[in-house]
Structure 1
Amino acid sequence: MSNSVATEIAKRAATAARAVANLTTAEKNAVLQKMANAIRSHRDEILAVNEKDMEAGRDKQLSEAMLDRLQLNPERIEGMATAIEEIIELQDPVGERMPFNERPNGIKVEKMRIPLGVICMIYEARPNVTADAGALCFKSGNAVILRCGREAIESSKAIAAALHQALRESDLPEDVITVVPTPDRELLMDLMQQDQYVDLVIPRGGEGLIHFVSDNSKIPVIQHYKGVCHLYVDKAADQDKALAILLNGKTQRTGVCNALEGLLVHQAIAAEFMPKVAQALAEKHVKIHSDKASADYFDKPDVIAVDAFGEEYLALEIAVRTVPNFAGAIDHIHQFGSGHTEVIVTEDEARAQRFIREVDSAVTMWNASSRFSDGGQLGLGAEIGISTSKLHAYGPMGLQALTTEKFVVTGTGQTRD
């Protein structure tokens, strides 16, 4: 694939972006409803294609976490359609005006939300991203270029075909949502140089993919390297709550970035709480990696050195550490966390508020499962991704994160002296 192919893809997307940027909210919502309907009506075709991707994935011996992300079923397809309908209900940020100030000379200054333009999504074995990203970018007035890994490319094409049907029925260009037809690495490299046409790159996948994109893109990149999420069980914790939150965060779905990877327990309650943890995790067949202070509570744990913490297992595995106090938990999170999601369980409100203030993470939670760290669960609608860098978004990214602001100045003929 030559640079001219990437340039043509990007150029066509930039032209399409102008068409969607000028649609009213009602017009966009009508198209989104058609997209949701089309995904439902194409369910059988999408499932048939996805099964072929799954067979190829199993032949390549993809990990269970990767296969879980790749797999579609009727419930997940309905979830994609429902997520689009939830986006319809969200407030459209495009065109919102915020008073800024009025100057002494009488000019009025406002800020107005506008689309970013063209978003390039780069992702691996997550075909649902095709629908989520397509709908979110459309509602926020952007065009999107979707480049998925070879594991999911046929599933993504099948989903895009449904979205394109809705665009055609609405007399809009299909280039509003473009699926790059090949996972060719050279074409990806060329796409990341199209800063004249593409405004933002959002990679979703493993740490290696994020580093590759960040190192090679001429276009600004939203980064999310990994999700090393911790649960800190404070000495003032309700232990039943803590156990339920631990099990949900670790075992409800393991191959996702908001699953728990670390458990920190205050030493004052370790003797009482750790045996409960050991029994509950053993019943779920969770492998334990522990520090020396915690090892005696578990049956044949993998005892690790302190500097071995910070792994993203994406499996039925968790690292467990006994900490001497609250400060020890904060220090551990600062050293080994990834800026994604951190949870405290405690009945001490002052300590919870201190945790929220001091932990440097995109999402902090008090007495709630890390699995809620998700755009849909937090009320954003289907998320475009989760940013663990702070420019220009931090945490789950919804509609507003896909817009920017411009200044609007209104005068009555004023000129500058």
Structure 2
Amino acid sequence: MPSSLRDKALACRDAASSIASLDTAAKRCLLLAMATALAADATLVLDANAKDMAAARANGTSDAMLDRLRLDASRIAGIVRAIREVATLPDPVGVTTRCETRPNGITVERVRIPLGVIAMIYEARPNVTADAAALCLMAGNAVILRGGSDAMHSNIAIATALRRALAASGIPEAALTLIDDPRRETMVELLQLTDIVDLAIPRGGEGLIRFVAEHARVPVIKHYKGVCHLYVDRDADPVLALRLLVDGKTSRPGVCNALETLLVHKDMASTFLPHAIEKLRRLGVEIRGDEVTRALADDVAPASEDDYAAEFLDLIIAVRVVDTLDEAIAHIRRYGSDHTEVIATRDPVAADSFVRAIRSAVVMVNASSRFSDGGELGLGTEIGISTTRLHAYGPMGAESLTVERFVVRGEGQVRHPASERVDDASGQ
């Protein structure tokens, strides 16, 4: 068995060729076997998660982080279902995305191929162990998983079940390698294996992602935080806008697609804000607002510059009243994180202006920010979200774990005319 990190990574790289050679039917069967194995081990996974939860509570972990860490029967069933959904996705490998014939007769194709070895670095979400493995394997890649110490028991239990399915399918278990050493030095070593790791994807808090970006020598897909805004336009339906606000802020406040700032057009402020603030307060949300907001509702704390730039990941929201759509856009450009922005409006011109002006990875018109998720957007599940404008932008599914290469087909065409003047085999 490989012992050092480099040995484990090399074994994973060697196993990548086995994954890349699988056809679509074989990959689907493998993922379905992984889902079945995980479902069979549900009790073991729950027992392991209970150990992680107990340790996290003893360490004073916040309620939002505990929610990310917690597994129950329903959530495990959801993880199993997500693996099965990935198995039904279109296979991105081998897809020809473009084909054209050049004037000289050569045919130029662009064809999707696997990236190779993906290093997934994440914190307190044990579901990522299964989600990342399923997506990477469906895209023909091997994967190295490095979860946080807070979810280590859970991650090991999940990975053990998945690796058992790999072995039963005749695939090297190293294609799914879990690093169980939580030290940061080990993470740094992994991030510098430029001859083995083709891409690193960090998923967690801003501190983790910045650490990865600062220490990596391999390419990194990242987003630092999700400062998501809802802008309530002057022509918004107030009932619809309130629905988006409540869902975006309170359904799961500890996730990156939760709302953190509410912007309201001045023409809507006096009628919309008092009712919205009252509703949020009943749901336990702390309100921090500008002067106009504080004049419209009692006991609203003043919002600071830091509040408007904050990813609270909690039942806290910053509120500001703006004079125009352009002012709302300017606020988002200043404080946003290129993650997800929402406009509530009945004016199609305002909606189109908002969509064109906002450069974030996901822009919503009259829909909750909570739909900014790979599963909800048709990717089956997601391995993360990219706010880095490289080969992937936004929620990343299986296709984002492939790249296009050029395949050129010809009939002896050469570029330099002199190459055509070659003596035949007789030497004449």
Shared fold (TM-score, shorter chain, > 0.5): yes
Are 2:27 and 1:28 equivalent residues in the alignment?
Answer: yes
Residue 298 (structure 1) shift: 2.9
Are 2:76 and 1:73 equivalent residues in the alignment?
Answer: no
Q: In structure 1, what is the equivalent of residue 332 of structure 2?
A: 333
Determine the C-alpha separation between the residues in 2 that align with 1:208 and 1:385.
Answer: 16
Q: In structure 1, what is the equivalent of residue 136 of structure 2?
A: 137
Q: Which runs of 5+ in 2 are unaligned?
A: 417-428
Determine the C-alpha separation between the residues in 2 that align with 1:32 and 1:189.
Answer: 30
Aligned residues: 415
**RMSD, matched Cα:** 1.2
SS in structure 2 of the partner of residue 152 of structure 1: helix
Determine the C-alpha separation between the residues in 2 that align with 1:29 and 1:334.
Answer: 42
Determine the C-alpha separation between the residues in 2 that align with 1:71 and 1:198.
Answer: 30
Q: In structure 1, what is the equivalent of residue 420 of structure 2?
A: none
Q: In structure 2, what is the equivalent of residue 314 of structure 1?
A: 313
Q: In structure 1, what is the equivalent of residue 181 of structure 2?
A: 182
Deviations along 1:276-300, whole A, 9 cap, x unmatched? 1111011101000111110123331
Q: In structure 2, what is the equivalent of residue 88 of structure 1?
A: 87
- Structure 1 counterpart of 2:316, one-letter code: E
Q: In structure 1, what is the equivalent of residue 198 of structure 2?
A: 199
Q: Is the 8 A contact 2:303 2:319 kept in 1?
A: no
Residue 175 (structure 1) shift: 0.9
Q: In structure 2, what is the equivalent of residue 372 of structure 1?
A: 371
Moved over 4 A (4+): none
SS in structure 2 of the partner of residue 404 of structure 1: strand
Q: In structure 2, what is the equivalent of residue 294 of structure 1?
A: 293
Please show how residues 205-354 of structure 1 align to structure 2 within 5 Å.
205-306=204-305, 308-354=307-353
Determine the C-alpha separation between the residues in 1 that align with 2:43 and 2:250.
Answer: 30
- Structure 2 counterpart of 1:227, one-letter code: G
Please show how residues 122-133 of structure 1 align to structure 2 within 5 Å.
122-133=121-132
Q: In structure 2, what is the equivalent of residue 53 of structure 1?
A: 52
Residue 165 (structure 1) shift: 1.2
Larger mean CA deviation between 275-284 and 45-54 belongs to 275-284
Label 1:213 to 1:372 Cα distance change in 2 as closer, same or farther (>3 A): same
Deviations along 1:96-115, whole A, 9 cap, x unmatched? 11333212221111011000
Deviations along 1:72-121, whole A, 9 cap, x unmatched? 01111011011111111110010011333212221111011000000001
Determine the C-alpha separation between the residues in 1 that align with 2:79 and 2:156.
Answer: 15
Q: Is the 8 A contact 1:372 1:378 kept in 2?
A: yes
- Structure 2 counterpart of 1:151, one-letter code: D
Deviations along 1:168-192, whole A, 9 cap, x unmatched? 1101011111110211111111111
Residue 340 (structure 1) shift: 0.3
Larger mean CA deviation between 127-136 and 301-310 belongs to 301-310
Label 1:63 to 1:170 Cα distance change in 2 as closer, same or farther (>3 A): same
Q: In structure 1, what is the equivalent of residue 171 of structure 2?
A: 172
- Structure 1 counterpart of 2:281, one-letter code: A
- Structure 2 counterpart of 1:215, one-letter code: E
Deviations along 1:314-360, whole A, 9 cap, x unmatched? 11100000011111100000001110000000000111011011011
Larger mean CA deviation between 80-89 and 302-311 belongs to 302-311
Q: In structure 2, what is the equivalent of residue 363 of structure 1?
A: 362
Deviations along 1:375-408, whole A, 9 cap, x unmatched? 0000001100001111121100001110001111
Determine the C-alpha separation between the residues in 2 that align with 1:308 and 1:254.
Answer: 15
Determine the C-alpha separation between the residues in 1 that align with 2:4 and 2:356.
Answer: 48
Residue 252 (structure 1) shift: 0.5
Q: Is the 8 A contact 2:340 2:363 kept in 1?
A: yes
SS in structure 2 of the partner of residue 109 of structure 1: strand
Q: Which runs of 5+ in 1 are unaligned?
A: none
Q: Is the 8 A contact 1:291 1:306 kept in 2?
A: no
- Structure 1 counterpart of 2:173, one-letter code: E
Determine the C-alpha separation between the residues in 1 that align with 2:58 and 2:306.
Answer: 35
Q: Output the TM-score relative to the length of structure 2.
A: 0.95
Q: Is the 8 A contact 1:153 1:182 kept in 2?
A: no
Determine the C-alpha separation between the residues in 1 that align with 2:107 and 2:383.
Answer: 34
Q: Is the 8 A contact 1:113 1:403 kept in 2?
A: yes
Q: Is the 8 A contact 1:234 1:326 kept in 2?
A: yes
Determine the C-alpha separation between the residues in 2 that align with 1:298 and 1:183.
Answer: 47
Determine the C-alpha separation between the residues in 1 that align with 2:184 and 2:307.
Answer: 33
Residue 306 (structure 1) shift: 4.2
- Structure 2 counterpart of 1:38, one-letter code: A
Larger mean CA deviation between 307-316 and 365-374 belongs to 307-316
Identity %: 53
Deviations along 1:225-264, whole A, 9 cap, x unmatched? 0000000000000000000110000000111000000000
SS in structure 2 of the partner of residue 66 of structure 1: helix
Q: Is the 8 A contact 2:307 2:318 kept in 1?
A: no
- Structure 1 counterpart of 2:164, one-letter code: Q
Larger mean CA deviation between 181-190 and 155-164 belongs to 181-190
Determine the C-alpha separation between the residues in 2 that align with 1:99 and 1:214.
Answer: 33
Determine the C-alpha separation between the residues in 2 that align with 1:75 and 1:34.
Answer: 20
Q: Output the TM-score relative to the length of structure 1.
A: 0.98
Q: In structure 1, what is the equivalent of residue 425 of structure 2?
A: none
Label 1:99 to 1:308 Cα distance change in 2 as closer, same or farther (>3 A): closer
Q: In structure 2, what is the equivalent of residue 114 of structure 1?
A: 113
Label 1:111 to 1:241 Cα distance change in 2 as closer, same or farther (>3 A): same
Residue 158 (structure 1) shift: 0.3
Determine the C-alpha separation between the residues in 1 that align with 2:152 and 2:298.
Answer: 43
Determine the C-alpha separation between the residues in 2 that align with 1:298 and 1:45.
Answer: 50
Label 1:98 to 1:306 Cα distance change in 2 as closer, same or farther (>3 A): closer
Q: Is the 8 A contact 2:147 2:155 kept in 1?
A: yes
Residue 307 (structure 1) shift: 5.5
- Structure 1 counterpart of 2:12, one-letter code: A
